[in-house]
Amino acid sequence: MFYLLVPTQTQDTMGDWETTLTKRPVYGSVSSVTANEFFAGGQNGYSPEIKVTMFGPDYEGEENLELDGVQYSIYRVYRGRTDTAELYCERRRGDG
């Protein structure tokens, strides 16, 4: 299981806006990216680390996910023919 992170903006008592991330649990499989994806992503300024394959309709355009306490940015999504979505992710900058 991993979490898709949904940003929510709230206004505090001083009128300042704060963004918090709400975790939405989702099931899928996690694998390493292929060598081709690693090099293609690197040429486009990304640092590919993982690929998550999940039930496509569960993906609602989120830009981030959390797996084992580590946050990742989703830089590319591939929608398969069999109701799947492949999320290609890199570790979020500033998260170790």
Kindly indicate the confidence band of residue 94, based on its pLDDT and cuts at 50, 70 and 90. low
Q: What is the CATH number of the domain that holds 14?
A: 2.40.10.270
| Residue 77 included in any domain | yes
| Residue 96 included in any domain | no
Q: Is the pLDDT of residue 96 over 60?
A: no
| Residue 13 included in any domain | yes
φ, ψ of residue 40 to 5 degrees: the values are: -65, -40
User: CA 59: distance to chain centroid?
Assistant: 10
Give tens-digit pLDDT for 50-80: 999 999 999 999 999 999 999 999 999 999 8
**What is the total count of domains within the chain?**
1
Report the C-alpha gap between 78 and 28 in whole angstroms. Answer: 14
Kindly indicate the confidence band of residue 5, based on its pLDDT and cuts at 50, 70 and 90. very high
| Residue 30 included in any domain | yes
Q: Domain of 29?
A: 2-91
Q: Is the pLDDT of residue 93 over 80?
A: no
| Residue 12 included in any domain | yes
Q: Is the pLDDT of residue 35 over 70?
A: yes
| Residue 44 included in any domain | yes
| Residue 64 included in any domain | yes
Strand-pairing partners, residue 71, are: 66
